[in-house]
Each structure stands twice: as structure tokens, then as C-alpha cells.
Structure 1
Amino acid sequence: MDLLDWHRGKLSSRRVLVLIKHLPRDSALQRELHGEAAEWSVTDHLLAAAVDHLAAANWMFQCVNASEDGDQPEPPKPVPRPGGGDEEAEERDGETPEAENPGVSPAQLARFFG
């Protein structure tokens, strides 16, 4: 397909818009517009969420069954998501990422599991 056909009048503007709208997820335009997030499908996001939940469950199990010495394991770090920002830069700035914040309200839990 030659996009100059639009300029020549052989290709309508609507057809060009339809072609652009239905470009594949890994196209250069999608990567330019959405960055790394263009590579992640819904399946990838669900798989990352499943890995995070499994790691949290294992961490909770270790905390409950830890020795009496008070040695608690480190909380798990979530799988990095596209567009999530630079976690190392946040840690350098003294901010803790939201996923590592141990204070979760009951409303947040109800919304998550609800």
C-alpha cells in the first residue's frame, strides 16, 4: 500500500484512518504512542498479576511460619510493568513504591477481591 495514493486521491481519508486504527500491537506507531506498554497484552498483564499474587502468598506463608527470632522475610517485589516508572529512581528519592507500601486499607482489599 502506498500512502501517496491518499495524496493522489486514490485512497480516502476514512480508509487511511481505518488502516491506522487497526495496526498491529507491535507496529512502530503503537510503540511510539504507547511505548513499552504496546508490547504487553491482557494475557501478559494477567500473568504478571498471577506471579505477584503467588509471591505474596508465599511471603505470607513464610511470615506465619517464621521462627520465633523475629526474622521476617523481605516482602516480594512486584513484576515490573510497562509505564510503571523507574522504581530505582523513586527509591533514590526516598519514596517507596506503592506496591511495597505495607499499609493496605480494608477498602482497597475489598475493591481488589470484590
Structure 2
Amino acid sequence: MSGNVALRNKQLTDYGTIMTTAVLTIYSGTPPANADAALSGNTALAAHTLAGFGSPSSGSMTANAIANDTIDATGTATFARLVAGSYTEQLAVGTSGTPVIVTTTSYVSGGTSQITSVTLTRGA
């Protein structure tokens, strides 16, 4: 399936409406096969509530500034799940080159989880 930029931007606009106040939970461990698969041996490290998204451009959309959160458990951040009601998206986490950019993937309980950006892209 493919679509032009206008269609991809419209899809992201609709997605952003659904995910306006979604919760982004950062996890450690091997990511499940997809967002429908159950978590298995994964630890929730921190949870951030989103404050909406900016307008999409060229098939990409970035979340508005995200407040820091206190880290709940110690571990290495490997993936995140963005959840709003029955909608879930699973995203890779890293310090660069991933949809969810964090300042560090080494999470220590009681520290601060800081998300630099969350960028969603819909391919052509």
C-alpha cells in the first residue's frame, strides 16, 4: 500500500487526533513481535503522557514537548508503546535514529526519563 504525501499527512493528522493525550511507556527487554503481541518479561521503566502532535509534513509528524517522568525501574530502554484507549503502536527507542529519542537508554530507578522527540512517519 502506498499513498501520496497529502494522503500520508491526512493519515497522520487523524492519528494525531486519536493519540493527543496517549501514554508513551518505555520498556526494557526484547520487543514483542508487534503492538498486538503480549509483553513477555518486559519491564515498564517510565510513562509519559503526550501533549499532542505538530502538523504533519512530508509524511512525518513530531510530538509536542513531552514532560519528563521519574524512572520507575532500572533497565535498558529498548522500545515503547504508545497507547490511547484500544489503540497501541509499538516504537523503537534509542538516542538517535529511532522514532522515540531519549537522552539515555540506561534507566536507573529514581532518575529522570527525558524524551527528546517522538516522530511518526508514514512511508510512501
TM category, shorter: under 0.3
When Rg is computed on C-alpha atoms for both structures, the one with the higher figure is 1
- TM-score calculated relative to the size of structure 1: 0.26
Highest RCO, 1 vs 2 (Cα 8 Å, sep ≥ 6)? 2
Structure with greater strand share of residues: 2
Structure with greater helix share of residues: 1
- TM-score calculated relative to the size of structure 2: 0.25
